[in-house]
Structure 1
């Protein structure tokens, strides 16, 4: 192990014997059509100096989050869970409270929904979704954004309205790396980053690059844009394992991210690779409801 300790703020696990992953379709995703467990990840994480992780939901069904919490409860590696609950339901706050009562419930640190799959680019601005996001904020949790570039403007407006909720942008908003273009993605990312209640995961970049022939240099303009926009105090490292294995193994993702952050000071690197995840997700600290944190509630 070399370098400082790392917290991997974004990875997944799934057991196909327990539940299918309907999104794994087609030849390109075929290597992911098997189970991936913490037992698979643990030795790679240990070798890379990863001391804790945040596991993130993959499918929008109520059964998955309790399973992830139970997994975290029995794990020395998983420090946090970003789960799912139906934001459009009238009882979001009660649903979150119920999750916290389950084994591992104290490790629930965030909520996520597959916004990237929603046909409505303004889904985050729907009144019922806004009510759900207010409940997430009131529960003291973060909200992970998994969006396509065209959905960034709505995400920015949602974050501007809900100033008491921390929005965590996954995978830099999936920039068009394979195409080699920056705008309008870069301009939209900067608008989101201008809001103080937003942070961003330096994750998922290798899978947005050209399949099988990417180089670190292909990722550099996008990482540099995020570093400039958010600054090292609002960026979190995430591997996006095992999805990253379509393009790179775990160790290579970490090496690549280190190259992308070569220009940072030692303290700034520690923020990106460890401290920011602890702060944003409250890892190791109790997550308490935060009365009055939700901010404006207009639709």
Structure 2
């Protein structure tokens, strides 16, 4: 099975989706499974992991409801208030939906560099671990330290790093990011998505060579069994087509055996998220 491990659906709302700025006009519209189906078919992608784009329990239910209508959705990464005193009650409610594989919070939007190690947040992570849910890490450089601390304190929790921690490809910054990747990859319970890179490059003038040192470093650090392909569709459309993003990911596959390629394009995602 070939799986896109990271994409989104939404019915566009200018207030709720204020992160979609005016220079992202291409995606200031609705995106639903019917808009993606033919793209998946033409690129031989069997299914996707639908990831939350807004932070509400309604968003999680929206993705669950879509999954009942579209078989392409193999798993959902929803949102739940991990800092709530009622987090276990909320998780108990969502546990009725087997399509929910894990949860995510948009940490990158949090100014607090220590958000990931707030006592209430760590309590929420413990609740995820108890129910064997995954957690997607979406961070910025200010969160590097607390990310490492959070992961270290939760060795039984399955984490995946979204978008390779969004390296600053446009300005070719590398060293601080690379050091963080090496430290994070040392934890065996952390996977990494080769996804979301094109929006970190020059949207109009990127080349495949721009991405290679970053992807190669992730492969060298995480190995071939803890990385997975993802597009970040439709966000990627501000800078590239779905096919472009697949071509960028394909630059990761230097010296990959046929079995390792299958793992990258879907096997690792299926194993991490528990997709059968």
Report if TM-score (shorter chain) is over 0.5.
Answer: yes
- Change over 3 Å in CA distance of 1:115–1:77 after alignment to 2: same
SS state at 2:74 partner? strand
Q: Which residue of 2 aligns with 1:238?
A: 230
Pairing 1:58–2:50 present: no
The count of residues paired between Structure 1 and Structure 2 equals 276
State the distance in 2 between where 1:93 and 1:79 align.
24
**Structure 2 match to 1:295:** none
1:256 Cα deviation after fit: 2.1
Look up the match of 2:140: 148
In the TM superposition, 1:199-278 aligns within 5 A as 199-278=191-270
> Take 2:199 and 2:187, find their aligned partners in 1: how far apart are those partners?
27
Counterparts in 2 of 1:10-29, with a 5 A limit? 10-16=6-12, 20-26=16-22, 28-29=23-24
Question: Do the aligned partners of 2:51 and 2:76 also contact (CA within 8 Å) in 1?
Answer: yes
Backbone CA RMSD of aligned residues: 1.4
Deviation at 1:61, TM superposition (A): 1.5
Deviation at 1:166, TM superposition (A): 0.8
Residues of 2 paired with 1:217 and 1:129: CA distance? Answer: 38
What is the SS of the residue equivalent to 1:86? coil
Q: Deviations over 1:118-175 (max 9, x none)?
A: 1101100000000000001111110000001231221111011001101110000000
The one of 178, 187, 193 aligned to 1:186: 178
Partner residue in 2 for 1:115: 107
**Secondary structure in structure 1 of the residue aligned to 2:157:** coil
Q: CA deviation at 1:16?
A: 2.2
Tell me if structure 2 keeps the 8 A contact 1:152–1:189. Answer: no
**Aligned 8 A contact 2:8 2:53 in 1:** yes
Task: Note closer, same or farther for the CA distance 1:281–1:228 as it changes in structure 2 (3 Å cut).
Answer: same
| Alpha-carbon distance between aligned partners in 2 of 1:130 and 1:264, rounded to the nearest angstrom | 37
1:47 maps onto 2:42 in alignment: yes
Match of 1:71 in 2: 66
From 24, 28, 31, the equivalent of 1:36 is 31
Task: Please report how far the alpha carbon of residue 22 of structure 1 lies from its aligned counterpart in structure 2 after TM superposition.
Answer: 2.3
Task: Return the alpha-carbon distance in structure 1 between the equivalents of residues 187 and 80 of structure 2.
Answer: 25
Q: Which runs of 4+ in 1 moved over 6 A?
A: none
Aligned: 1:161 with 2:153: yes
How far apart in 1 are the matches of 2:68 and 2:125? 26
Residue 150 of structure 1 aligns to a residue in which SS?
A: helix
Gaps of at least 5 residues in structure 2 are none
The 1-side partners of 2:204 and 2:210 are apart by: 12
Q: What is the CA distance between 1:6 and its match in structure 2?
A: 1.7
Task: Assess if the C-alpha contact under 8 Å between 2:4 and 2:45 holds in 1.
Answer: yes
Verify: 1:106 aligned to 2:135, yes or no.
Answer: no
Provide the C-alpha distance between the structure 1 equivalents of 2:149 and 2:251, rounded to a whole number of angstroms: 33
TM-score, normalisation: structure 1:
0.89
SS of residue in 2 equivalent to 1:82: strand
TM-score (norm 2): 0.97
Cα pair 2:161 2:191 within 8 Å, conserved: yes
Q: 1:183 and 1:113 mapped to 2: Cα distance?
A: 26
**Aligned counterpart, 2:273:** 281
Cα distance, 1:63–1:249 mapped onto 2, change above 3 Å: same
